[in-house]
Structure 1
Amino acid sequence: MGLFGILLGLGLLIWLAFRGWSILLLAPIAALIAALLSGEPLLAHWTQTFMLSAAQFLAQFFPIFLLGALFGKLMEDTGSVTSIANFMVEKLGEKRAILAVVLAGAIVTYGGVSLFVAFFVLAPMATALFRAAGIPRRLMPAAIALGTSTFTMSALPGTPAIQNAIPMPFFGTTPFAAPGLGIIASVIMLGFGLWWLARAEAGARRAGEGFGDGPSDAAAQAANDPIVRERATTAREFDPAEISHGAVSASLPAIIPAALPLVVVVIVNLVMSFGVLPRLDTAFLATPEWGNTSIAAVGGVWSVIVALFAAILTLLAVSGRRLATPRSSIDAGANASVLPAISVASLVGFGAVVAALPAFALVREWVLSIEGGPLVSLAIATNILSALTGSASGGLTIALDALGATYMKLAAEQGIDPALLHRVAVIGAGTLDSLPHNGAVVTLLAVCGSTHGKSYFDIVMVGIVGALIALAGVIVLGSMFGSF
């Protein structure tokens, strides 16, 4: 009965979330249904299991949500994201329209710009570029997804994406965990995705397919769609409703001041991870006053926080004068972080209740018994949970909350570098999370004025198939040579 309760609660969560219901209400209800059918105390699970786990997630990661959303909004309103996108278009031109969109998305998201900010800036640019080049509109979502939602989210070393930060407290790693394997995975994802899109473009040209029809104001419609908003807030760290708040600069900065804050994110993240934090005296963290923790558990998050904060200061210094309404832009950026953070925390609370139920022991035993060793079972666990929740960050946190300590024990016993666990877990979470109900997928299709029927297959190829190939490559290489 307990296992049935877990499946029923999860089924209701998925079904109603897909229909646009708020995850803030669904997650505790689904958790209580699972607890009820397991004969567990309901109020205790709500306040002591669900809420404490959700609160712990917020305590660990809300600063990254806050600074990431604020940085993204300021980059948008100063015109910096548009300037970078335009620069890529000018350099690559219409003949390389797909490559221009992919690289523009990769640059801004690897530099710390929130995914949804990139969507809303890149989609109008891609629309004009694809129309001029005669490339079908239906390929726009896949091109944008390849640049923003694949290797820069889960594989490229040092990415400030929340998904790359989540394993750090569990495994004591840095944002640059397994850098060599991450670069190899990034090359596989990018190479496979570009090959597929070039193949699709060539096929469309042979068939005489042009750009096609579609709404001219798709991005504005998506920003004001409440169902899109509900689905999107569990996917990434930016609330699309805040896109329209504030004001975008009437003039664009030059490419160097536009790109400088992105460079600052990467450099400061690297310096903090390997230069500053290892040299600090942080023995005080082990005392009860500071949570009985260690620099290994918090250092990775600290590095990302400082990097984003330094980038925000740099952005304000070089382009702050371009903000037409500084107060509104800052408020919108801060507000954009709240609903996504609480939504993902609610998913984490649901996972904590499920993991605390007696029947979950059966699930744990099944996961750990998967043939292929800890790397394979970890990849499958993060894949499945991210697919079911439609959220890479939610599924990843649920998996590591329930099984992170177990995998660390197995790693110690079998001589596996925790950095390898980190990279496998993050890439695994970024594969099947892109199923049709994923909030980022729904938002991207809406912003591009397309539909699942027209564009989803290409998203699957560049966002799921390419990532699965890269994940398999990392597991094979990691098993043979360890982390590097």
Structure 2
Amino acid sequence: MLGNLGLLAGLALLIFMALRGANIFIASLVCALVVAVTNGLLIPKTLLEFYPFGPLGAFTFAGKFFLLFLCGAIFGKAMATSQAAKSIALAITNSLGVKRTLLVGMLVCALLTYGGVVVFVVVFTMYPLGITLMREANLPKRLWAAATSVGAGTFTMTALPGTPSIHNVISASSLGTDLFAGGWIGIFAALIMVGLGMWYVERGWRLARANGEGFVENTQDKRMEQLIGDPADAPPWYLAMVPMIVVLGVIMLPRLLLAMGDWSGSDSLLARSLVFSQTQPIIWPSMALILGSLTCVVLFPSMRRKVGQVFGQGAEDSIMPLLNTAAVIGFGGVVTQTAGFGQFAQWILSADLPPLLSVFASASVVSAIVGSSSGGLQIFMQSLAPHYLEMGVQPEILHRIAAIASGGLDSLPHCGAVIATFMIMGLTHREAYKDMFVVTVAIPVVACLAAIALLMMLGMG
């Protein structure tokens, strides 16, 4: 009884400290100690094994995925510094106009994140541009936050096949699948997320206009708007797209070549490269991201003058997102050592549920506990996924359903991405979390359940 109360207390404290802006390293360590003490775990083992270096240890995760975070951050920095990301945003804005402000925000964020640009870079890039759009359209900031989150934090993150997102890579590296696993399921779920998400925010805008609610500027907006710079300095949009095309092309080309013919009997360099691309779900997308970064250097003169500085800043920018994710996984690594987690795992695995509904429930709950979709997915893959494979769930289907499920209940109020987005935009949970909850929690949950229902109707679940 005390152990279960300790688990709840540790989770409640983690949520409270996150909402109060506490450092995630301190918060995760304190909460891990609360869980350890109330569950009778040895403190030395907790601090020196379960939290840092166990199968779900913080630094076990950080070591495994360091290369991907590093290359992703460098690519994001290159796209931002060369102003390629801004050029794409401006081109879409000019094409669709102010009346389509919400669609502009969603499309730009979706395009950039699917192309490999890190979510936080996308938010920083889009918000200064969004201020002008919101002012002209008299759009409430809470709806801009929701629309950009639809693009950056839902379907491109977990559902669409081929993306070099950390969620796609975690599933592929854990299950031996590739980045395109369960692709048609992901596309089905993505269409639901986009359709319902945009319907909700557009409806919200109509209601806001009817109620006289509009854009309210604050001092932070003026500072952020200064980051836009001169639009004339940005490269042409068609050149700005090339680095992202390179990233996606490197990832997708091996898949296309393998689909076009049988390479198993060949020992050529191309055949070995194709095999390598399919067996290295961390290294291959990392190589694609670095090639995208080098493409920025070749195409944009501003990059060539400071390539060392930009790559160095990108490397530095990768550390905090990596360690923040690792910290919540370290907390989860302690939680998984408790009897309460074992009882939960046993209960969910033995519950009279179809296997895919069980996958949805377990991945969702774990992601909710740590407030991180990538952290929750990694914990799920290490602790529960093998049992579902034993039940007969196909690895490709497990890959996609677990990834989509992890992107639902992760976005509770203590989610780091939610907190960071509100901080950048100068919003509070009271002002904006209702809309954020609908588009990043409720709608992804509906999309995942709809995908599972479709698979069950087809006899695949």
Q: CA 1:208/1:264 → structure 2, altered by over 3 Å: closer, same or farther?
A: same
Residue of structure 2 equivalent to 1:108: 112
**1:129-170: per-residue Cα shift (whole Å, max 9, x none)?**
122123233311111111111111111111211122111222
Residue of structure 1 equivalent to 2:251: 269
**1:253-304: per-residue Cα shift (whole Å, max 9, x none)?**
11111011111121111234565899699xxxxxxxxxxxx97995222332
- Select 2:77's aligned residue among 69, 73, 79: 73
- Select 1:460's aligned residue among 414, 437, 443: 437
Residue of structure 1 equivalent to 2:174: 170
Between 1:272-281 and 1:56-65, the stretch displaced more is 272-281
Shift of 1:65: 0.7
Answer yes or no: is the 8 Å Cα contact 1:164–1:426 preserved in 2: yes
**1:42-83: per-residue Cα shift (whole Å, max 9, x none)?**
213332332223332123211111111111111001001100
**Are 2:238 and 1:256 aligned?**
yes
CA distance in 2, matches of 1:366, 1:254: 56
- Select 1:318's aligned residue among 277, 293, 299: 299
Answer yes or no: is the 8 Å Cα contact 1:73–1:332 preserved in 2: yes
Between 1:388-397 and 1:447-456, the stretch displaced more is 447-456
Residue of structure 2 equivalent to 1:237: none
Between 1:307-316 and 1:72-81, the stretch displaced more is 307-316
- Whichever residue aligns with residue 81 of structure 2, its letter is D
**Are 2:459 and 1:477 aligned?**
no
Shift of 1:373: 1.9
Shift of 1:2: 3.1
Residue of structure 1 equivalent to 2:121: 117
Residue of structure 1 equivalent to 2:48: 47
**1:343-377: per-residue Cα shift (whole Å, max 9, x none)?**
22222222222222334321111221344322112
Residue of structure 1 equivalent to 2:207: 203
**1:6-46: per-residue Cα shift (whole Å, max 9, x none)?**
33333333322332222223333433332333333321333
Q: CA 1:219/1:279 → structure 2, altered by over 3 Å: closer, same or farther?
A: farther
Answer yes or no: is the 8 Å Cα contact 1:172–1:296 preserved in 2: no
Percentage of matched positions with identical amino acids:
35
**Are 2:137 and 1:137 aligned?**
no
Q: CA 1:206/1:359 → structure 2, altered by over 3 Å: closer, same or farther?
A: closer
- Whichever residue aligns with residue 87 of structure 2, its letter is S
Residue of structure 2 equivalent to 1:384: 365
Answer yes or no: is the 8 Å Cα contact 1:386–1:392 preserved in 2: yes
Shift of 1:217: 3.1
Q: CA 1:255/1:297 → structure 2, altered by over 3 Å: closer, same or farther?
A: closer
Residue of structure 2 equivalent to 1:37: 38
Shift of 1:188: 0.7
Shift of 1:114: 0.8
CA distance in 2, matches of 1:67, 1:154: 19
Between 1:249-258 and 1:422-431, the stretch displaced more is 249-258
Residue of structure 1 equivalent to 2:269: none
- Select 1:59's aligned residue among 55, 63, 80: 63
**1:405-463: per-residue Cα shift (whole Å, max 9, x none)?**
2122123xxxx221111111111111122222222222222322333233222222222
Residue of structure 2 equivalent to 1:5: 6
**Are 2:85 and 1:85 aligned?**
no
- TM-score scaled by structure 1? 0.84
Unmatched segments (≥5 aa) in structure 2? 266-274
Residue of structure 1 equivalent to 2:161: 157
Shift of 1:482: 6.0
CA distance in 1, matches of 2:189, 2:84: 28
Answer yes or no: is the 8 Å Cα contact 2:18–2:27 preserved in 1: yes
Shift of 1:389: 1.8
Other structure's SS at 1:159 match: coil
Answer yes or no: is the 8 Å Cα contact 2:331–2:370 preserved in 1: no
- Select 2:284's aligned residue among 281, 303, 311: 303
Residue of structure 2 equivalent to 1:19: 20
The total of aligned residue pairs comes to 445
Answer yes or no: is the 8 Å Cα contact 1:169–1:296 preserved in 2: no
Q: CA 1:379/1:218 → structure 2, altered by over 3 Å: closer, same or farther?
A: farther
- Whichever residue aligns with residue 162 of structure 1, its letter is I
Answer yes or no: is the 8 Å Cα contact 2:16–2:414 preserved in 1: no
CA distance in 2, matches of 1:447, 1:271: 37
Between 1:67-76 and 1:209-218, the stretch displaced more is 209-218
- Whichever residue aligns with residue 22 of structure 2, its letter is W
CA distance in 1, matches of 2:335, 2:342: 10
Between 1:425-434 and 1:435-444, the stretch displaced more is 435-444
- Whichever residue aligns with residue 75 of structure 1, its letter is M
Answer yes or no: is the 8 Å Cα contact 1:189–1:470 preserved in 2: yes
- Whichever residue aligns with residue 19 of structure 1, its letter is R
Answer yes or no: is the 8 Å Cα contact 1:51–1:349 preserved in 2: yes
- Select 2:186's aligned residue among 182, 191, 196: 182
Q: CA 1:67/1:454 → structure 2, altered by over 3 Å: closer, same or farther?
A: same
- Whichever residue aligns with residue 252 of structure 2, its letter is L
CA distance in 2, matches of 1:274, 1:54: 36
Answer yes or no: is the 8 Å Cα contact 1:219–1:446 preserved in 2: no
Answer yes or no: is the 8 Å Cα contact 1:115–1:149 preserved in 2: yes
Other structure's SS at 1:135 match: coil
The within-5 A match list for 1:287-302 is 299-302=280-283
Residue of structure 2 equivalent to 1:233: none
Q: CA 1:370/1:437 → structure 2, altered by over 3 Å: closer, same or farther?
A: same
CA distance in 2, matches of 1:431, 1:11: 19
- TM-score scaled by structure 2? 0.88
**Are 2:314 and 1:347 aligned?**
no
CA distance in 2, matches of 1:250, 1:21: 40
Shift of 1:220: 4.7
Answer yes or no: is the 8 Å Cα contact 2:367–2:376 preserved in 1: yes
Shift of 1:5: 3.3
Residue of structure 2 equivalent to 1:327: 308
Residue of structure 2 equivalent to 1:417: 394
Residue of structure 2 equivalent to 1:436: 413
**Are 2:337 and 1:336 aligned?**
no
CA distance in 2, matches of 1:345, 1:274: 34
- Whichever residue aligns with residue 153 of structure 2, its letter is S
CA distance in 2, matches of 1:251, 1:135: 27
Answer yes or no: is the 8 Å Cα contact 1:87–1:255 preserved in 2: yes
Shift of 1:203: 1.8
**Are 2:100 and 1:96 aligned?**
yes
Answer yes or no: is the 8 Å Cα contact 1:370–1:376 preserved in 2: no
Between 1:83-92 and 1:196-205, the stretch displaced more is 196-205
CA distance in 1, matches of 2:441, 2:332: 24
Q: CA 1:367/1:137 → structure 2, altered by over 3 Å: closer, same or farther?
A: same
Shift of 1:123: 0.9
Unmatched segments (≥5 aa) in structure 1? 222-242, 282-293
Other structure's SS at 1:332 match: helix
Other structure's SS at 1:396 match: helix
**1:367-410: per-residue Cα shift (whole Å, max 9, x none)?**
21344322112212221222222211112212222212212212
